[in-house]
Each structure stands twice: as structure tokens, then as C-alpha cells.
Structure 1
């Protein structure tokens, strides 16, 4: 960590904050404070520089034009790339996930350079949007329970050799490539198409980020009753497509 207070950076809430993704920042912050970990939360708007001394950076989803604007400004700024080079942890959702990759299709229908932080490339799915609940098994190396979330996107994302799938789906579309993969990760950088917000439905993901930031193998237990109830409700409500 950069100092005695964990620095949590919420990137561009004015451009990348659809489908309740700001809830991810709220959950990470609360679960840190429940363990007695002091947190400094920094909400960085798109007209502000990205600090490079953060411990955890969160990016949410966004509509097509805000996504392009966010990518342009993040490329010019360079702060997120420098933070990752210094070992920062990044968790991204949907449009934020695509921005971390090498390329995606923007609102003008043209290839848009990403940040190249994660070895993925996204194209536009020419069929129907990928919409609905998803459930999948997270890479066992991460030691997490099944992923529960909600997807709403029209991207197909191909994972390159420098990354690995975040999860393999039991149902849903995820990366949209037909191979059952969902999201991607490498070292301390993670991406997913799951909204929900995903941290509220999967608090163990938030805990994983905290353990990485604090450099510990375990965290003190906290009351999981609310989170467990929400997970059970959403998993039960979702049905596997025919």
C-alpha cells in the first residue's frame, strides 16, 4: 500500500458508471472499513488527472460515446498505465473492461485504441445484445466462489495469450465468442462484463482486491447475511436458457 490508508480510486464516474457499477466502490470501501482498514476514496472525474499512487482502481460500464471519451482521456493522461506499472490493482466492468484492452469498436463504428493494460480485443457483436443474468465458475487459481452477475452489452471480446479468462460460464454469453469464457485477468488486473453491481453480488471479489492491496492471505470475517441473501436470490431467479 502507498501509506497507512488504502487509496481507492473510482475512475471517471461522470462517464463510466452505468447499471449501478458505483456500488462496487461502495462495497470495497465498506468491507475494508468493517475490518478496521482506513480508506481514502478518490472519485476522479474525466477532467481531472488520474493519481498514480492508488492501491485499487475501479472502472465501470458506460454508453458508447462516453466510453470513447474515457478511452481518449485515459490514453492522454497515462496515469492508469503508470499506476499498473507500479503494481496497482485494477478491476473493470463492461466498457471499462474493453478500454483496458488493446482495441474496441467505438460509437462511430471504428476501431478505438485501448490502454493495452489487458491482452484482450473487442469487436461489436452483429447479432442481438447479450442481456441477462450470468453464472460462471471463476478461475480456480483465484480461490473464489461462482460468479453471479448481469450482462448488457454488444461486444465480443477475444482473449490474447497474455491474459486468461476470469470465469467459465454455466449460462450467459460473457465474452460472446462462443467458448464460454467471461472476462479476463492477468496479475492484478481484472475485467468482467458482469454488472449487478458485481461486488454486491460477489463480495469475495472485493475481498480478493483488499487482500492483494494489503498483501495478506486472509481477512477477518464479517457479517455475510445480506450478501448471501442477495446471491441466493439472484442465482435462484436466473434460469439457464434452453
Structure 2
């Protein structure tokens, strides 16, 4: 009997404005291709966040949505318990910012406490980062090491000593124009690119599964996905 892998998509009404729900669809499909039984739970504010999931996904949203989301998640506690139990997390854009220790919102740059899953702080940047982004995944080699996506964020993120860069920027802004993109702490990955990012970078989807299950997956050969990836990498390099 196939093992069930529980995936939780968090607060799509707040953190789902850039199509990041597609990351859940990619994880579901790749789990099935790898021989697992995917179970997707979509939670909204007011719902309990399951603390028994294997993978948690957070997406992009606006300032007010970030505040509502982070306060609800702190009060609920399910995400934190899931991480403590060994789940993997992908937090994209606004989700990345709220996963940090603090972030700022509004014209007065009000400082809001984050979830504390990543040692990063985010503040309003001097200019908005908009456009294709291409970065090289830290510690990876070969074609899978290239991470492509579309960034659209006004916040700049800086890493503390407890976080490592997820990737190094070749094209685009990334965290704050310092050459880094995203952050990693254990099984928690924060990153800015949309796309959705897992559709463009299937190796990252498999990596989240591997982190959650503490096992290596066999490579999947999907020519149509390889071609899509080739096209997006070429577009980013123009």
C-alpha cells in the first residue's frame, strides 16, 4: 500500500494572489508519480492548521494579509508543531517574509513579529523588484541547480547568522541586491520567485518531498517538463 504524504496549503485567501497554489498541485502530481498517495489539506483563517503534515506551503500576499496570516498562525501553533515534528516548509514571497523574525509594513514601516522559522528580517526596499529571476541553488550542480521564476516584491530581506542563502542570483534582485536569494534553515526554505516556483523547478519539489520523508527519490523523466524548464531558463537569460 502506498504511503500517504500529507501536504498543507496555508491561507490561500490571504497568501494566494500570485498563483502560488500551483505549488501544491505540482507536489501532488509528483508525489503520485513517485508512487505515494498525496493528501492535500487547504486551510483558511479560522481553520486549525494540522500539525501532522509532511509538507507545508505558504504563498504571496499583501501587507494587511501578511499581518492577519502571521498572527493567526502564531495563535494556532499547528505550523510550528509540524516543523518541530520534522515537516518541510516552502514559503514564497510574503510567506517568506512572515517566516522570518520580523518584517515591516506600510508607509511608517511598522515592525511586525514573524513566525521565527527563518533567521531573516525584511524591510521596505528603495525600489520594487519586478521581473525574471535566475539563481544558482547553493550546494547543487548541473542543470537542476538553476532556479528560475518571477519576482515581484517591495521588501528587502537580510539573513541573520542562523540562516543560509538558498541560492545565488545571476539575473534579478533576490533578497536585497546582495547576490543572495532566499534562505534555508533545516527543512524550511524561504524564497521570492513565483511562477509557480515548483512548476519551473521540479527538482525543488522533489527536494521538499525528500526533506519531509528523509529519503532520496529516484529521478523522474518527463520530457514535457524538461522542455518547459528549458524555455523558462532561456527566457531568463535574455
The reply to whether TM is greater than 0.5 is yes
Q: How many residues align?
A: 235
- SS state at 1:132 partner: strand
Cα separation, partners in 2 of 1:141 and 1:160, compared to 1, 3 Å:
farther
2:203 equivalent to 1:230: no
**What stretches of structure 2 of length at least 5 have no aligned partner?**
none
Could you list the per-position Cα deviations for residues 56-85 of structure 1 after superposition, in whole angstroms to 9, with x for gaps in the alignment? 000011111111110111111111111111
User: How does 1:202-213 map onto structure 2 within 5 Å?
Assistant: 202-213=201-212
User: How does 1:151-162 map onto structure 2 within 5 Å?
Assistant: 151-162=151-162
Offset, 1:21 = 0.5
- TM (normalized to structure 2)? 0.94
> What CA distance in whole angstroms lies between the structure 2 residues aligned with 1:96 and 1:188?
15
2:121 equivalent to 1:118: no
User: How does 1:82-231 map onto structure 2 within 5 Å?
Assistant: 82-107=81-106, 109-125=109-125, 127-140=126-139, 144-176=144-176, 178-219=177-218, 221-231=219-229
- TM (normalized to structure 1)? 0.92
Offset, 1:186 = 1.1
Work out whether residues 211 and 217 of structure 1, in 8 Å CA contact, stay in contact via their aligned partners in 2.
Answer: yes
Cα separation, partners in 2 of 1:36 and 1:239, compared to 1, 3 Å:
closer
Offset, 1:54 = 0.4
- SS state at 2:127 partner: coil
- Runs of 4 or more above 6 Å deviation: none
Work out whether residues 68 and 107 of structure 1, in 8 Å CA contact, stay in contact via their aligned partners in 2.
Answer: no
Work out whether residues 97 and 192 of structure 1, in 8 Å CA contact, stay in contact via their aligned partners in 2.
Answer: yes
**What stretches of structure 1 of length at least 5 have no aligned partner?**
none
Q: Which residue of 1 aligns with 2:63?
A: 64
- SS state at 2:95 partner: helix
Structure with more strand by fraction: 2
* RMSD between superposed Cα atoms in Å: 1.7
Work out whether residues 59 and 91 of structure 2, in 8 Å CA contact, stay in contact via their aligned partners in 1.
Answer: yes
